[in-house]
């Protein structure tokens, strides 16, 4: 979808509609690539972005580029990364930070690339059924890239993941819905719900004023796209900026509703926490206590991919058009998928059982202390907050520090064997730090925005933090908002107790 083609820019509606028409109908020449990419067979040398000349019938007319670290292990994971409009494989490779974590965590990357003969602004055709349906067009080309990379690198077929920005994010959602048997997880950055649009007019509606659907209706779109009888679903991370005027923040909430409904886990977060870059993470655990869906709301960020240039482990990428300096989304996504050596919140490749008796033994304004029962043959224990490993303990207790007051956090613990492999994660427990008292506010949408409890985008109002839709931006619509953590508001019209 496109970050820089006309329908994704803010501005007057007639300019947006005209831009979309040009986007869909114009036919440009061949896409020019930069960055010294090398055309080669899948056997080309690693540690460079390399074009793969042939990868199947390629009905979507895409190009395939790969990056494999030197010394890539057999059975390593595989990540597919989809660029946004006007971008290229080289551009996404250079800015997104994914190659840093491929080197650090030992996995291969595939960068599919569309072109201006497919779409005048080099967008993936996420809104066209012929390109986003299982077994057709661009979707099938991407699946053929997966098959080619798996065969070349010996990738673990149970650990294949897909991510994308904007139009690439929308296509990512469609691929997760169409191929839940292929992808173990996905990350949708500034994107839209799966199968939100199947036409030009619907594409515009979805981007700027998403249709009102229940969580079950959003989930039905995924179930309809997936193979009949599917019962196992990918784990999904959702990233959006609260000030995005190109793909409005309500799409983030709709994505949350869609994938939590598919998982059957409801739309109430298991835990929320504050991260760097003004980011709020809401985690939705499955029945075993593992994070199934994560929603990252980056306060004040407009349309783009969240990056954080620097040399730290949690820093990545470089700034540029639609690469915004806030937080390294690729790092947190990699951790959520378990690419750092743990699989999605502690379900690692080890055989040790889950610790039992995990309890919260105490909290302060900024700390939470845990205790659990020992596991035989455990060399140590990994502690996870919201699915991300926050520490290791050689005893059966741990204190997490640097937390936000009055905030709930979800924790799991996994035993680690002598070879460093984490076993099954424990059931989740919730710790709530002290020092914050929830407050309720009832006012018009206009007044909420004026007070900073909500923000407006394109004439619509959204709750600060949660991004929940509140309707038109005016003085005639009234809602009750509950501040559940500092600067984080949820709609509480059905009842609000401070």
What CA–CA distance (Å, rounded) separates 335 from 346? Answer: 10
Q: What's the pLDDT score for residue 342?
A: 54
Residue 11 shares a structural domain with residue 119: yes
142 in a structural domain: yes
**Predicted local confidence at residue 17, as pLDDT:** 34
Count how many residues are written for the chain: 498
Please indicate, yes or no, if residue 498 is contained in any of the structural domains.
Answer: no
Which of 155, 166, 282, 330 is catalytic? The answer is: 166
Going 227 to 231 to 234 to 237, the CA torsion angle's sign is: positive
pLDDT at res. 52: 97
99 a catalytic residue: no
What whole-number distance in Å separates Cα of residue 313 and Cα of residue 335?
11
**What pLDDT is attached to residue 411?**
86
Structural domain that includes position 481? 439-491
pLDDT at site 494: 87
Residue 246 lies in a domain: yes
Strand partners of residue 409: 431
Q: Is residue 351 part of a domain?
A: no
Question: Which residues of the chain, if any, have pLDDT below 70?
Answer: 1-46, 341-349, 387, 486, 498
Domain boundary among 432, 453, 477: 432
Residues 104, 331 contacting (CB under 8 angstroms): no
User: Is 414 part of any domain?
Assistant: yes
Q: Return the pLDDT at 498.
A: 64
Buried b (16+ CB within 10 A) or exposed e, 284-320: bbbeebbbbbbbbbbbebbbbbbbbeeeeeebbbeee
332 lies in the same domain as 364: no
- For position 270, what pLDDT does the model report? 87
Q: Are residues 302 and 184 in the same domain?
A: yes
Tokens describing residue 131: 């390109």
Helix (H, G, I), strand (E, B), or coil: what is residue 223?
Answer: helix
Contacts of residue 376, Cβ cutoff 8 Å, sequence gap at least 6: none
CA–CA dist 197, 7 (Å, integer): 14
Tell whether 70 and 149 lie within a shared domain.
yes
Cβ atoms of 385 and 367 within 8 Å: the answer is no
* 90 and 239 together in one domain: yes
Look at residue 204 in the predicted model and tell me its pLDDT.
85
Verify that 107 and 80 share a domain, yes or no.
Answer: yes
Q: How far is CA 332 from the centre of its chain?
A: 9
Residue at which a domain ends, from 337, 367, 401: 337
Looking up tokens 């202390």 gives: 369
Residue 443 and residue 404 share a domain: no
Final residue of a structural domain among 398, 416, 432: 432
The sheet carrying 50-52 orders its strands as 38-40, 50-52, 63-67, 108-113, 78-82, 160-165, 185-189, 235-241, 291-298, 279-285, 271-275
CA dist 158 to 155, 161, 275, 330, 336, Å? 9, 9, 29, 20, 15
CATH of the domain at 369: 2.60.40.10
The per-residue DSSP string of 323-378 comes to EEES--HHHHHHHHHTTTSS-TTT--S--PPPP---EEEEE-SS-EEEE----TT-
Q: Which pLDDT score is estimated for 214? A: 95
> Do residues 461 and 420 both lie within one domain?
no
Provide the pLDDT for residue 192: 97
- Against a cut of 0.95, is the pTM above it? no
Regarding whether 369 and 319 lie in a shared domain, the answer is no
Q: Do both 260 and 378 map to the same domain?
A: no
**Within-domain flag for 349:** no
**Is residue 496 included in any domain, yes or no?**
no
**pLDDT (tens digit per residue) in 383-400:** 988 767 788 898 999 999
Q: Are 382 and 329 within one domain?
A: no
Taking the C-alpha atoms of residue 311 and residue 169, their distance in angstroms, rounded to an integer, is: 26
Q: Are 300 and 81 in contact (CB under 8 A)?
A: no
308 and 448 share one domain: no
Element (H or E) spanning 393, and its range? strand 388-393
| CATH number of the domain to which 240 belongs | 3.40.50.1820
Q: Is residue 275 part of a domain?
A: yes
Domain total of the chain = 3
């Amino acid at each position: 979808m496109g970050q820089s083609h006309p329908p994704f820019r803010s501005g007057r509606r007639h300019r947006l509609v005209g831009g979309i028409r040009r986007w869909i109908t114009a036919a440009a020449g061949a896409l020019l690539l930069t960055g010294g990419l090398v055309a080669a067979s899948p056997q080309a040398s690693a540690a460079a972005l390399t074009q793969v000349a042939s990868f199947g019938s390629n009905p979507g007319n895409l190009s395939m580029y790969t990056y494999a670290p030197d010394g890539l292990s057999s059975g390593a994971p595989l990540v597919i990364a989809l660029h946004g409009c006007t971008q290229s494989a080289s551009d996404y490779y250079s800015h997104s930070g994914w190659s840093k974590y491929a080197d650090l965590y030992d996995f291969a990357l595939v960068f599919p690339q569309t072109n201006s003969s497919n779409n005048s602004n080099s967008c993936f055709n996420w809104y066209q059924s012929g390109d986003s349906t299982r077994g057709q067009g661009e979707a099938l080309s991407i699946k053929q890239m997966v098959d080619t990379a798996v065969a070349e690198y010996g990738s673990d077929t149970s650990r294949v993941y897909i991510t994308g920005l904007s139009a690439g994010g929308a296509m990512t959602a469609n691929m997760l819905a169409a191929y839940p048997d292929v992808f173990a997880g996905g990350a949708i950055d500034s994107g839209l719900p799966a199968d939100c649009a199947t036409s030009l007019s619907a594409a515009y509606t979805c981007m700027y004023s998403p249709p009102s659907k229940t969580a079950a209706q959003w989930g039905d779109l995924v179930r309809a796209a997936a193979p009949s009888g599917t019962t196992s679903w990918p784990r999904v991370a959702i990233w959006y900026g609260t000030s995005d005027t190109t793909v409005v923040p309500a799409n983030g909430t709709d994505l949350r509703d869609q994938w939590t409904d598919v998982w059957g886990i409801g739309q109430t977060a298991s835990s929320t926490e504050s991260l760097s870059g003004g980011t709020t993470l809401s985690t939705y655990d499955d029945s075993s206590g593992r994070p199934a869906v994560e929603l990252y709301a980056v306060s004040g960020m407009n349309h783009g991919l969240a990056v954080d240039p620097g040399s730290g482990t949690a820093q990545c990428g470089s700034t540029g058009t639609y690469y915004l300096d806030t937080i390294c989304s690729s790092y947190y996504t990699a951790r959520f998928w378990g690419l750092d050596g743990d699989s999605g919140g502690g379900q690692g490749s080890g055989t040790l059982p889950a610790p039992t008796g995990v309890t919260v033994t105490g909290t302060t304004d900024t700390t939470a202390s845990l205790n659990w029962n020992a596991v035989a043959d455990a060399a140590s224990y990994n502690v996870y907050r919201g699915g991300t490993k926050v520490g290791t303990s050689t005893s059966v207790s741990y204190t997490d520090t640097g937390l936000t007051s009055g905030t709930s956090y979800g924790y799991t613990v996994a035993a680690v064997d002598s070879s460093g492999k984490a076993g099954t994660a424990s059931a989740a427990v919730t710790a709530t730090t002290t020092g914050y008292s929830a407050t309720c506010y009832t006012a018009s949408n206009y007044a909420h925005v004026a007070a900073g409890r909500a923000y407006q985008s394109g004439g619509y109002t959204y709750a600060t933090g949660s991004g929940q839709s509140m309707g038109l931006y005016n003085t005639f619509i009234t809602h009750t908002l509950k501040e559940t953590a500092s600067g984080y508001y949820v709609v509480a019209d059905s009842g609000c107790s401070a």
